[in-house]
Amino acid sequence: MDMSPPIHRWMKDDLDRSVFQKSVTVLAARIPARDTTTLLKSDALRRYIMDVPKIRSVVWDPSGTQGQRLVLLKVPTEAALSPEARILLTEHSAELVDHTIRLNYDYWTADDILQAILPEELLNGSPTGFSVTGHIAHLNLNKEYLPYKKIIGKVILDKNPAIKTVVNKIDNIDNKFRFFKMELLAGEPNFVVEHHESNCRFTFDFSKVYWNSRLHTEHDRLVQLFKPEDVVADVFAGVGPFAIPAARKGCAVLANDLNPDSACFLSTNIVKNNVADLVRASCEDGRDFIRDAIFNVLENPFPPYLGPKPSRLKEKKLRRDRQASERSSQDSVYPLESTLPPRKVVTRFVMNLPDSALDFLDAFRGVMVTRDRIGGELGRLYDAMPMIHCYCFTRELEPVKAEADIRLRVEAKIGHKIEEDVDLHLVRSVAPNKDMYCVSFRLPRPVAFAR
């Protein structure tokens, strides 16, 4: 039974959905409706019943005969049925008839339709793979598919109800702020998405800021390492996929991005996710940010961690309860104020700019002595040095060689060996000869206090 769509290889830009029509005639057993279950379950007939996705194998009799149904069969003629099946049908007064199934554009998948449109030499690769960010489907078409990009976009839009916009990446990420240049293939020219990750809501303009849904697992992995009491300095924060989940967990965060659009959406996301008390956004060069972060937190500390953050509703209720109880007793239900000391110490730096983050590491040399007048205080405050989580690429594909390569580059930049709490994590393979890693290490004390 050939259920494939009719071939229309003449289409290129305009998608004519009306030409995708097909009638398929199949053999069917007309049976009394009351016998349907018995026949469907019978060993003799079961293996002959049609089993095609999205097509019902039992339908009302289109001839309108009351109380009759058609069971669609996958054999072409009565002769192909076993004697037992024929006897069973006779016992149930079944009559074999032809039944016509009418298929249209809605029946076929995006792949089916494109296989019927694209030239034969392009049928092997599938252009229907895409990643989804909010309502946007994001394709990365090989150049041989480009003459068909508009029609590919339209088919993907039709076949994915949650998608409202289809774009194609038109360049490698090569601009300073790491976002894709993209062109609209189909749907609304609206690039501001609302995307959900790690139970947080992110709003951003996908055509102006960096976002990569494939980093979801890595964002989660790193945030899981954080303790709620941590103070995190996110040097290349983007629109907040580390910073906001970290703050939801209780961490205090300095989140920075040089792209003004990223910094702007980061600020929006901070408010939308109810973490304005814990995240401070900035828009400066990563090197300046690193050199200022430690003093910023020292001079303007964060409040202490007070336990899991209640939801807005729960917080309102706790405040009400607290006010009520203050009238009767001094005890509070939730410690909205605390006697714990404020958070003055940056415990982690996150540096996700894999192309060049290693080049920023020299900014840590002398980072704790740049403002001499309080340098002494920092020596006492920082009994443990901050952890640095730095992303990078390497062309060494064997783990041992990759580690040696990355270690060498880190140590050359900071001018010191890394020995304490060193960990290397393979994030993903970005190209056949290029892997992305996260190297974590504790900032060596002599580097932070180097003069």
Ligand X SMILES: C[S@@+](CC[C@H](N)C(=O)[O-])C[C@H]1O[C@@H](n2cnc3c(N)ncnc32)[C@H](O)[C@@H]1O
By the criterion CB under 6 A, which residues form the site for ligand X? 176-178, 210, 212, 215, 236-238, 241-242, 256-259, 262, 285-286, 352-353
C-alpha–C-alpha distance, residues 100 and 21, integer Å = 13
Angle of the 372-381 helix axis to the 286-299 helix axis, nearest 10: 70
**Shortest spacing between CB 41 and ligand X, in angstroms:** 54
C-alpha–C-alpha distance, residues 62 and 292, integer Å = 77
C-alpha–C-alpha distance, residues 210 and 263, integer Å = 11
Nearest to 207 by CA among 236, 170, 171, 181: 181
Residue 116's contacts (CB-CB under 8 Å, 6 or more residues apart) are: 4, 5, 6, 7, 8, 9, 20, 108
Nearest to 228 by CA among 283, 275, 271: 275
Residue 69 or 365 having the CB closest to ligand X: 365
Residue 128 or 273 having the CB closest to ligand X: 273
C-alpha–C-alpha distance, residues 366 and 445, integer Å = 10
Closest residue to ligand X, based on beta-carbon distance: 238
**Shortest spacing between CB 289 and ligand X, in angstroms:** 7
Q: Which parts of 300-398 fold into alpha helices (H)?
A: 312-328, 372-381
Q: Which two tokens stand for residue 206?
A: 């996908």
Q: What is the Cβ-side half-sphere exposure of residue 232, based on CA atoms within 13 angstroms? A: 34
C-alpha–C-alpha distance, residues 239 and 350, integer Å = 14
Report which residue type is found at 410.
V
Q: Is 92 annotated for ligand binding?
A: no
Q: Is 219 annotated for ligand binding?
A: yes
**Shortest spacing between CB 406 and ligand X, in angstroms:** 17
Q: CA 254 → CA 157, 196, 247, 300, 397, distances in Å? A: 39, 22, 10, 11, 34
Q: Is 171 annotated for ligand binding?
A: no
C-alpha–C-alpha distance, residues 205 and 221, integer Å = 25
Residue 50 or 253 having the CB closest to ligand X: 253
**Shortest spacing between CB 360 and ligand X, in angstroms:** 7
Q: Is 286 annotated for ligand binding?
A: yes
**Shortest spacing between CB 427 and ligand X, in angstroms:** 10
Residue 346 or 353 having the CB closest to ligand X: 353
Residue 237 or 443 having the CB closest to ligand X: 237
Inter-residue contact 265 to 239 (CB < 8 Å): yes
Residue 390 backbone phi and psi in degrees, to 5: -120, 130
**Shortest spacing between CB 294 and ligand X, in angstroms:** 17
Q: Is 141 annotated for ligand binding?
A: no
DSSP state of 310: P
Residue 236 or 441 having the CB closest to ligand X: 236
**Shortest spacing between CB 272 and ligand X, in angstroms:** 17
**Shortest spacing between CB 435 and ligand X, in angstroms:** 15
Residue 210 or 349 having the CB closest to ligand X: 210
Residue 180 or 242 having the CB closest to ligand X: 242
Nearest to 72 by CA among 25, 118, 129: 25
C-alpha–C-alpha distance, residues 260 and 291, integer Å = 20
Residue 238 or 444 having the CB closest to ligand X: 238
**Shortest spacing between CB 20 and ligand X, in angstroms:** 40
Angle of the 110-117 helix axis to the 149-159 helix axis, nearest 10: 150
**Shortest spacing between CB 15 and ligand X, in angstroms:** 35
C-alpha–C-alpha distance, residues 34 and 274, integer Å = 59
Residue 114 or 264 having the CB closest to ligand X: 264
Q: Is 14 annotated for ligand binding?
A: no
Residues at the binding site are 219, 257-258, 285-286, 352
Residues at the binding site for S-adenosyl-L-methionine are 219, 257-258, 285-286, 352
